[in-house]
Chains A and B, each alone.
Chain A
Amino acid sequence: MCLGIPGKIIKIYEIEHTKMGRIDFSGVKLDVCLEAIPEAEVDDYVIVHAGFAISRLSEDEANETLSLLKEIEDINLRDNN
């Protein structure tokens, strides 16, 4: 249930008076609860745990994480070939 991948908020809406967001994780889109990030806005990056945004990241931090993940993916692909 733990994912360290940051996702980008592409839409904010409400279900049952609860603040929700549609989050884009490099192409995979999920709906998550944003109640714990009251300041969240569209285009912000968040870390999500089990359908719940737990922390907000700056764009720089998010991009840095995403490029590191890419690097590791590349290493894995090379190892497997």
Chain B
Amino acid sequence: MVQKAIQEINKTVSQKWSIMEICGGQTHAFMQYGLNEMLPEEINLIHGPGCPVCVTSLELVDKAIAIASHKDVIFTSYGDMLRVPGSEGDLFSVRAAGGDVRVVYSPIEALKIAVNNPDKQVVFFGIGFETTAPANAISVIKAHERGLDNYSMLVSHVRVPPAIHAILGSPNNKVQGFLAAGHVCAIMGIDEYKPIAEKYGVPISVTGFEPLDLLLGILQTVQMLEKGQFQVKNAYPRVVRDEGNLQAKKFISKAFIECDRQWRGIGLIPMSGWKLRKEYQSFDAEFRFNVENIQTKESEICISGLILQGQKKPYECPAFRSICTPQNPLGATMVSSEGACAAYYRYGKDLNGQ
């Protein structure tokens, strides 16, 4: 099947095309299975900013570090966030200094910790795209229903469609077709993408994460590019329904409202995030803890912003593999396995000309 899909792509492609996979999980899978090397050379894959760990703003990482350093706080987070460099140190260094920083698999686990530790403030680092939003929303809704006053969330939610707008609207844009993130669409549906495809004249294919899914997404995108079709098609129908997951969307809109959001390395993208609604403001960790005057300082060497915008590849960074490694990351894109730098480090040996 995989071979057949590649043959089909080879047969269809007649000229150079630049296609962006928006999601870091897809970047990782392309590298892991060596799919990028199996594709015809006409196809240039550009890696998108869809790595939640990578785009969480430095300011919020610094706020997380400040909150986690409080004596009475149990700070909970997905594991990857612990190594993301803040202006000074990371969440691991808070833990080393005696802070109670715990890795959880989901916010429901954090909620349970709050119930079991009534004398502590439990904070969850609510990062991620549309995919993590429903669970985060549920944890706040449940905490509210139970009148739990020791649970709160540091919210750093980002949304994919405004990011695609920002990329396609940039004067430096090179992207001609998109693989949309299958799991984001499993939640949100595909309607938001149609106006984007029309406005910018770019085909979008909703794509999954397994090797064959990725190749089918590429094939569908190339077919549309070759025919000059600018539509949204679903190459992942076994998981994605056109309308998304209505129940999950209900939770999201109950707890969250759209807001402007800073993306690390990229800057502010208007209405690209979610924050907690007014009714839930007391569950907002930024509101509960006083973490206003934070001065941020970004690494001077790191070019992860250009990488997240698809304008540079990791091996073009002078620090790549020399002073910046997953053990000693200078930028967030080297931390998460979904970050382009980390994926190239792990799988892309030949791509940096070695």
Interface residue from B105, B138, B212 paired with A18 (Cβ < 8 Å): B138
**A50 is an interface residue with CB less than 8 A from chain B:** yes
A20 to chain B, nearest CB (A): 7
Stretch of B166-174, B203-211, B326-334, B341-349 on the interface side: B203-211
Residues of chain A within 8 A of B210, CB atoms compared:
4-5, 65, 68-69, 72
CB nearest neighbor in B for A54: B186
A49 close to B131 (CB less than 8 A): yes
A62 to chain B, nearest CB (A): 9
B247 close to A35 (CB less than 8 A): yes
Known contacts A50-B106, A54-B187; A17 and B145 CB within 8 A of each other: yes
Residues of chain A within 8 A of B52, CB atoms compared:
1
A16 close to B112 (CB less than 8 A): yes
Stretch of B65-73, B87-95, B238-246, B261-269 on the interface side: B238-246
Report how far A15 CA is from B143 CA in the complex, Å. Answer: 12
B50 to chain A, nearest CB (A): 9
Interface residue from A30, A36, A71, A76 paired with B247 (Cβ < 8 Å): A36
Report how far A47 CA is from B213 CA in the complex, Å. Answer: 14
A68 close to B1 (CB less than 8 A): yes
Q: How large is the interface on B (under 10, 10 to 19, 20 to 34, 35 or more residues)?
A: 35 or more
B115 close to A16 (CB less than 8 A): yes
A68 close to B142 (CB less than 8 A): no
Residues of chain A within 8 A of B131, CB atoms compared:
1-2, 49-50, 52, 54
Residues of chain B within 8 A of A61, CB atoms compared:
238
Report how far A42 CA is from B278 CA in the complex, Å. Answer: 37
**A10 is an interface residue with CB less than 8 A from chain B:** no
Report how far A47 CA is from B187 CA in the complex, Å. Answer: 11
**From A2, A35, A64, A75, residue with most partner B Cβ within 10 Å:** A2
Residues of chain B within 8 A of A75, CB atoms compared:
2
B33 close to A50 (CB less than 8 A): no
Known contacts A2-B23, A17-B142, A50-B132; A71 and B1 CB within 8 A of each other: yes
B138 close to A35 (CB less than 8 A): yes
Report how far A66 CA is from B101 CA in the complex, Å. Answer: 36
Known contacts A1-B25, A16-B111, A32-B106; A52 and B1 CB within 8 A of each other: no
Within 8 A of A (CB), among B203-225: 208-213
Interface residue from A35, A38, A49, A76 paired with B183 (Cβ < 8 Å): A49
**B85 is an interface residue with CB less than 8 A from chain A:** no
Interface of B: prevailing SS? helix
Known contacts A20-B108, A51-B108, A57-B239; A2 and B247 CB within 8 A of each other: no
Known contacts A2-B23, A4-B213; A16 and B142 CB within 8 A of each other: yes
**A33 is an interface residue with CB less than 8 A from chain B:** yes
B23 close to A54 (CB less than 8 A): no
Report how far A7 CA is from B211 CA in the complex, Å. Answer: 18
Interface residue from A16, A49, A64 paired with B108 (Cβ < 8 Å): A16
CB nearest neighbor in A for B137: A35
Report how far A61 CA is from B241 CA in the complex, Å. Answer: 14
**A28 is an interface residue with CB less than 8 A from chain B:** no
Report how far A3 CA is from B131 CA in the complex, Å. Answer: 12
Within 8 A of A (CB), among B28-58: 33, 52
Residues of chain A within 8 A of B132, CB atoms compared:
1, 49-50, 52
Known contacts A47-B183, A50-B132, A54-B245; A4 and B2 CB within 8 A of each other: no
Residues of chain A within 8 A of B181, CB atoms compared:
2
**From B1, B181, B210, residue with most partner A Cβ within 10 Å:** B210
**B251 is an interface residue with CB less than 8 A from chain A:** yes
**B13 is an interface residue with CB less than 8 A from chain A:** no
Instruction: Please give 10 more A-B residue pairs, beta carbons under 8 A apart, in addition to A50-B105, A52-B132.
Output: A1-B131, A4-B213, A16-B108, A18-B111, A35-B247, A35-B251, A37-B245, A50-B106, A50-B135, A68-B210
A-B contact pairs, 26 of them (CB 8 A): A1-B78, A2-B23, A2-B26, A2-B131, A2-B338, A4-B208, A4-B213, A5-B210, A15-B108, A15-B112, A16-B146, A18-B111, A33-B108, A33-B138, A35-B135, A36-B247, A47-B186, A49-B132, A50-B106, A50-B128, A51-B106, A51-B135, A52-B106, A54-B239, A64-B238, A72-B33
